[in-house]
Amino acid sequence: MLTSLIAIVAFQWPLAVFVIFNSVTAVYFTAAVCFRFYLLALGWDDKIDAAPLHILHDEDLPVITILLPLYKDATALPLLACYVDRLDYPEHKKDVKLLLEEDDLGTTEEALRLGLAERYEMIIVPPCEPRTKPKACNVGLQMARGELIVIYDAEDQPEADQLRKAAAAFHAREETLACVQARLNYFNHDENWLTRLFTLEYSLWFDWLLPALQKMGAPIPLGGTSNFFRTETLRAVGGWDPYNVTEDADLGLRLARLGYSVEVIGSTTFEEANCKTGNWLRQRSRWLKGYVQTWLVHMRRPQRIIATTGWRGFLAVQLFVAGNVFSAIINPIMWGLFLFWTFARPQTLQGLLPAPLVWLNLFALVAGNFVFILTMAIGPLKRGWRGLAPFALTAPAYWLLSSLAAYKALWQAVFRPHYWEKTDHVISAAARKRREAALAAHFSDEPFYDRRSPDIAERSIPDSDGSRRAALSENERARQRIHHS
């Protein structure tokens, strides 16, 4: 009914509706830019490698369930398994569950070939709708035996001490601390222009903005991986929404709405940055579609967010969660008005819009893009990656790609709301090289080297019972141990 009313008003008074719409978008765009700059200042003194609050002895560490949801990820599996196995945590306190789809025979065969059935619990997820990662994770949640639970994606390479840091963060803390988020970044940031801009964005997001939201006490839209939850709390709040394609962003807001807190810890999971434009667009449009879903779901009862996080938390949801989508949508409109003003007669534009509104649009465009470039340039400095900062000057071209993904996300939100666009992994030269090293470690006694972590003792991936090679030739016996759910 409201849509019909807006359509009627727009038909009767198109110029007035255009002026009102443009005024709202320009003000909103400016507010979102200012809020991001405020978060940058707030996160200025946050340290990435902050020491954990407690050093726990092995006997005091909790059991941690590690969920590995995979679909058509046979190529990425050897590398993921190597990094999971090298996590510095007592083996008997790692409850690793490999979540595989029933029709994904390729990944299942690769898991058996690598002998993972000897070390992990392999769970076959039934092929029912929705075909999403959160649905698979909910299956794993029901079978988790750990006090804490964490997800790692196919391309993840967590730092070796990450489980210990997460356990330390939860130690002796109140039950209201429901989740700690490890930081995410990329190991192939220097592959090409796209990976450099992607790294600038992630550095800003996880090293500056999310810690600033934590300081504000605002809801934190979690990243899609390396989130550690109290298992019982996660079960109590209903687990992940299987219909949301950015399930952890939704869960972060839901935890805040229910009075729980989230913290960012000083450990990083490195991933493979998308180095191909088509693959990047598929991934980004899914993320943005999920943000649209998340915002629509939680705005059904906005008073709940206000009641638990206050007006500052509510505004953070509008300017940060919604802002990431709507800013990408608005940005081409700002550029379009600028180009029209540049190449057409200024009086033509002023005949359509009042002069103050024209200048507001120009201010929003210039100031907004300047602030976005500045924040992107500052983003990698905490990691000492100063060589990436100059690439921030090319960020407007990157945001045009984001805008393209945003419009695709809007279309899919209407016509294919729960469709999960698959992201391809191990497509970069750096990832392929690491995969070769991981395969060598699986099938020989050679150590698996991780050049990112020279402080961690390089060692071979442990063969838990000395029978890996025998297991590879006994696939049928291993199949019988696969748990079907």
Residue range 256-272, pLDDT digits in tens: 999 999 999 999 999 99
Residue range 372-402, pLDDT digits in tens: 899 999 999 999 999 999 999 999 999 999 9
Residue 224 is predicted with a pLDDT of 86
Crossing angle, helix 193-204 and helix 355-378, to 10 degrees?
90
Residue 471 is predicted with a pLDDT of 35
Q: What is the mean pLDDT of residues 284-305?
A: 93
| Portion of the chain with pLDDT greater than 70, in percent | 85
Q: What is the mean pLDDT of residues 409-434?
A: 93
6-7-11 Cα angle (round to 5): 115
Q: Which of 21-35, 42-56, 265-279, 402-416 has the lowest mean pLDDT?
A: 42-56
Residue range 308-348, pLDDT digits in tens: 989 989 999 999 999 989 989 988 888 887 777 777 666 65
Q: Is pTM beyond 0.85 here? A: yes
Q: Is the pLDDT confidence value at 11 over 70?
A: no
Name the pLDDT band for 8 (thresholds 50, 70, 90).
Answer: low
Residue 371 is predicted with a pLDDT of 87
Q: Which of 18-27, 111-120, 389-398 has the lowest mean pLDDT?
A: 18-27
Residue 477 is predicted with a pLDDT of 43
Name the pLDDT band for 483 (thresholds 50, 70, 90).
Answer: very low
Q: Is the pLDDT confidence value at 464 over 80?
A: no
Residue type, 434: R
Residue range 28-37, pLDDT digits in tens: 888 988 898 8
Residue type, 77: L
Residue 355 is predicted with a pLDDT of 73
Residue 255 is predicted with a pLDDT of 96
β-bridge pairing 483-484 and 64-70 = unpaired
Residue, of 48 and 158, whose pLDDT is higher: 158
Q: What is the mean pLDDT of residues 193-198?
A: 97
Q: What does CATH list as the number for 58-305?
A: 3.90.550.10
Q: Is the pLDDT confidence value at 130 over 80?
A: yes
Domain coordinates of the chain in residue numbers?
11-44+313-415, 58-305
Q: What is the mean pLDDT of residues 246-255?
A: 95
Residue 354 is predicted with a pLDDT of 74
Q: Is the pLDDT confidence value at 235 over 90?
A: yes
Q: Which of 412, 148, 428 is nearest to 271 (CA)?
A: 428
Name the pLDDT band for 189 (thresholds 50, 70, 90).
Answer: very high
Q: Is the pLDDT confidence value at 162 over 90?
A: yes
